[in-house]
Amino acid sequence: MARYIGSKWRKTVAIRKNKYLTRFVPETARLTKTSLRRQLTRYRMVYVKPEYGRHGNGVMRVEKTSSGYRYQLGNTIRNFAAFDSLFKGITTATKRKRYLVQKGIHLLKHNGRFFDIRVMTQSPAPGKWVTTGMIGRVAAKRKIVTNYHNGGKIVTAERLLRPYTRKVSVKLALLSKLGVLAGRRMSAAFPGVRVIGLDVAIDKSLKPWLLEVNTAPDPYIFRKHPDPRIFRRIMRLARTYNR
């Protein structure tokens, strides 16, 4: 079986050791009062997410506003006049579990809703990595996370990017390359990792940002891809390391 790594922090540290990948990784730190204050001062919007967790559960969008601070968790929005009360509210909501704070990326939108792209990359043999599929995930109405299990909608990456650039194939080629490099880095850091799902945000300047690396990505979202060959290929390769 392929190896599973749960800690988002350990995975972030691993891929940042590749100099090329580092430029695409948003500033990320373990959540403390100091790290949250520093990033909010620098970026005004950040994401706070559990170090261990799946499907976007527990992810918060935190902002510095003209009148104070605000966070959104699910459909719940809370406003705070002061930073100390914001931090107290966040630590209460997180139940003092380990969380990370990450530079907020202002995602592109599809029909008014945020989207990101899942890049599926697999290792059919030790030392060899290939990107086998890409698919877009559009957030549900009023949601800040795009995960399909959190109500997100599956749309092809090509369709999502087409309104923003004529060079869709060039952008997808870059995402494919990032997937392969991230896969190599993960297997170097954690021998036994044979598959990753790379969650990629695209900002308004069309720069990709590597938000997260999943080592047990759900292949079944690719059933919704209009090209059935992609899902068949993913499952065929999965059988080589899941025996």
State both tokens at 103.
Answer: 């530079």
pTM, two decimals, is: 0.93
pLDDT at 146: 59
**pLDDT reported for residue 243:** 67
For residue 240, pLDDT over 90 is answered with: no
Convert 126-173 into a string of H (helix), E (strand) and C (coil): CCEEEEEEEEEEECCCCCCCCCHHHCCEEECHHHHHCCCCCCHHHHHH
pLDDT reported for residue 2: 76
Mean pLDDT of 120-125: 96
Strands, DSSP E only, in 166-217?
A: 195-202, 208-214
Cβ contact 50:133 at 8 Å: no
Helix, strand, coil percentages (3-state) for the chain, rounded to 5, are: 35, 30, 35
Q: Which pLDDT belongs to residue 53?
A: 82
pLDDT digits (tens, 9 = 90+) for 206-236: 999 999 999 999 999 999 999 999 999 999 9
**pLDDT tens readout for residues 10-28:** 999 999 999 999 999 999 9
Distance between CA atoms of residues 168 and 161, nearest Å: 6
Query: What are the angstrom distances between the C-alpha of 214 and each of 52, 65, 121, 165, 238?
Result: 11, 32, 10, 28, 15
Instruction: Determine the pLDDT at residue 49.
Output: 95
Averaged pLDDT of the chain: 93
User: Quick check: 143 pLDDT over 90?
Assistant: no
Alpha-carbon dihedral sign for residues 132, 134, 140, 144: positive
